[in-house]
């Protein structure tokens, strides 16, 4: 693999436009640039804005829909480690997670099921958890420990991937919206913007929630669920938490700058709400109250509540693969932070060499057509 810093590689491949400069789009742009493709990334906002700019940032495979989805997410963890080995460390902290969202028999079933899948999981007692996190209050009798998991500063990771891609010749056009994808005689020819058309041989649609309208205009069905997510973020406090907590009241992590973050929906990995119907500040204050239960010694005050729309396809599973006119490729999914590295690796291999990965097989867009 070409390493960043080896200089700009001669671009002999097709010209590819990646629509979307979030973590998925920038991961794809980097992988395409590594392969020597001529890449342009187009986004109506800035690099790392949108859902990537308001993400909890948890990299995990403990939450999954089925065995195939587990395999993809588990490969996603491995792909981040491989990427860091290839290009150097990213703003990712591999501190594991402790989960007590369920108790008793339900927790035991979850632990057994993950163990049978080959996932790293162990059951810890209240005493063990207290030794690991001495400032924590409201401790459960038992918790599951997932040592393989981590958290990312998603905006920072996205910017670094974009910088990698740029160092290898990729170009970024931000603040410019893709109005339509252009095609002629069944082949992609470029992207139309208000400022004119940008020619291309291939278009990769990685625009999250904005992808459906562009795809459907090309005759490609891409049903999307409405999945708003609110994040509560506190003002910075002293370091107290270097892992993810998955509690009955919600997931909690501390950022590198000392701020503590929590999705306002308890169990947000399975949250199916399609609208926010209460004032965000009121929802955020309730979430802050739940955080305070676990950190009774801290003086916690809210700094921000952030709303983002998660890009969840209609069946809840990723959509990755070619569809519609020749040269159109879709990469729309949640969770991007877990899957960005592996999807970029496998998708670019598909684009350049043809479908080869069993991991992506269940997620091709053909299932909606």
Average pLDDT, the chain: 93
| 191 and 209 inside one domain | yes
| 309 and 160 inside one domain | no
Backbone angles phi, psi at 283, to 5 degrees: -65, -45
| 302 and 216 inside one domain | no
For residue 254, give both structure tokens: 């501390």
Report how far residue 168's alpha carbon sits from residue 12's, in angstroms, rounded to the nearest whole number.
Answer: 13
Evaluate whether 270 touches 162 at the Cβ level (below 8 Å).
no
What's the Cα-to-Cα distance from 327 to each of 155, 204, 321, 337, 346, rounded to whole Å? 29, 8, 11, 26, 16
- Per-residue pLDDT at 267 exceeds 60: no
In a domain, 85, yes or no: no
Question: DSSP label at 16?
Answer: E
| 337 and 300 inside one domain | no
In a domain, 60, yes or no: no
In a domain, 7, yes or no: no
| 192 and 269 inside one domain | no
| 279 and 308 inside one domain | yes
In a domain, 3, yes or no: no
Preceding peptide of 195 cis, ω within 30° = no
The pLDDT, as a whole number, for residue 106 is: 96
Per-residue pLDDT reduced to its tens digit, 83-101:
999 999 999 999 999 999 9
Query: CATH code at 213?
Result: 3.50.50.60
- Per-residue pLDDT at 1 exceeds 50: no
| 306 and 231 inside one domain | yes
Per-residue pLDDT reduced to its tens digit, 116-169:
999 999 999 999 999 999 989 999 999 999 999 999 999 999 999 999 999 999
The pLDDT, as a whole number, for residue 54 is: 86
Taking the model in full, what pTM does it have? Answer: 0.94
Question: DSSP label at 210?
Answer: G
Query: CATH code at 138?
Result: 3.30.9.10
| 185 and 239 inside one domain | no
In a domain, 296, yes or no: yes
For residue 91, give both structure tokens: 């703003």
Evaluate whether 263 touches 56 at the Cβ level (below 8 Å).
yes
| 198 and 168 inside one domain | yes
In a domain, 77, yes or no: no
| 219 and 162 inside one domain | yes
Q: Look-up: residue for tokens 């990685």?
A: 206
Question: DSSP label at 326?
Answer: B
Evaluate whether 206 touches 27 at the Cβ level (below 8 Å).
no
If 0-12 CB within 10 Å is exposed, 13-18 middle and 19+ buried, where does residue 36 land? middle
Among candidate residues 332, 335, 278, 329, the one with its CA nearest the CA of residue 307:
278
Number of domains in the chain: 2
Cross-strand pairs, 229: 308
Per-residue pLDDT reduced to its tens digit, 170-226:
999 999 999 999 999 999 999 999 999 999 999 999 999 999 999 999 999 999 999
Domain boundary among 292, 313, 334: 313
Q: What share of the chain is helix, strand, coil (3-state, %, to 5)?
A: 35, 25, 40
Evaluate whether 262 touches 251 at the Cβ level (below 8 Å).
yes
In a domain, 109, yes or no: yes
For residue 77, give both structure tokens: 């963890």
Find the domain containing 127 and state its range. Answer: 95-150+226-313
| 305 and 321 inside one domain | no
Among candidate residues 81, 127, 1, 25, the one with its CA nearest the CA of residue 343:
25
Q: Look-up: residue for tokens 């109250």?
A: 289
| 302 and 337 inside one domain | no
Per-residue pLDDT reduced to its tens digit, 284-331:
999 999 999 999 999 999 999 999 889 999 999 999 999 999 999 999
Domain boundary among 274, 298, 313: 313
Q: Which helix (H) or strand (E) holds 126?
A: helix 126-132
In a domain, 261, yes or no: yes
Domain boundary among 266, 292, 313: 313
Evaluate whether 307 touches 280 at the Cβ level (below 8 Å).
yes
């Amino acid at each position: 693999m070409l390493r960043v810093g080896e200089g700009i590689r001669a671009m002999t491949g097709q010209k590819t436009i990646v629509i979307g400069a979030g973590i998925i789009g920038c991961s794809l742009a980097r992988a395409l640039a590594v392969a020597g493709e001529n890449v342009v990334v187009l986004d109506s906002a800035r690099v790392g804005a949108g859902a990537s700019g308001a993400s909890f940032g948890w990299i995990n495979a403990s939450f999954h829909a089925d065995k195939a989805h587990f395999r993809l997410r588990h490969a996603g963890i491995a792909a981040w480690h491989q990427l860091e080995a290839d290009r150097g460390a990213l703003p990712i902290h591999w501190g594991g997670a402790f989960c007590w969202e369920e108790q008793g028999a339900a927790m035991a079933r979850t632990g057994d099921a993950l163990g049978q899948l080959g996932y790293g999981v162990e059951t810890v007692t209240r005493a063990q958890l207290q030794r690991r996190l001495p400032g924590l209050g409201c401790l459960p009798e038992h918790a599951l420990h997932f040592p393989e998991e981590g958290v990312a500063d998603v905006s920072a990771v996205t910017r670094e991937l974009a910088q990698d891609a740029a160092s290898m010749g990729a170009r970024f056009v931000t603040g410019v919206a893709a109005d339509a994808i252009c095609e002629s005689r069944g082949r992609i020819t470029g992207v139309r913007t208000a400022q004119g058309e940008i020619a291309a041989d291939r278009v990769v649609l990685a625009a999250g929630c904005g992808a459906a309208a562009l795809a459907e205009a090309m005759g490609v069905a891409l049903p999307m669920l409405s999945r708003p997510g609110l994040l509560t973020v506190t003002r910075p406090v002293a370091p107290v938490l270097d892992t993810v907590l998955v509690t009955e009241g919600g997931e909690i992590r501390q950022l590198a700058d000392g701020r503590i973050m929590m999705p306002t929906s308890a169990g947000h990995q399975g949250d199916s709400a399609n609208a926010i119907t209460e004032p965000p500040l009121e929802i955020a204050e309730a979430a802050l109250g739940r955080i305070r239960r676990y950190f009774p010694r801290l003086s916690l005050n809210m700094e921000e509540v952030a709303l983002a729309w998660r890009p969840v396809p209609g069946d809840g599973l990723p959509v990755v693969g070619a569809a519609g006119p020749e040269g159109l490729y879709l990469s729309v999914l949640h969770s991007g932070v877990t899957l960005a590295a592996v999807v970029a690796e496998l998708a670019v291999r598909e684009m350049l060499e043809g479908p080869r990965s069993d991991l992506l097989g269940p997620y091709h867009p053909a299932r909606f057509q």
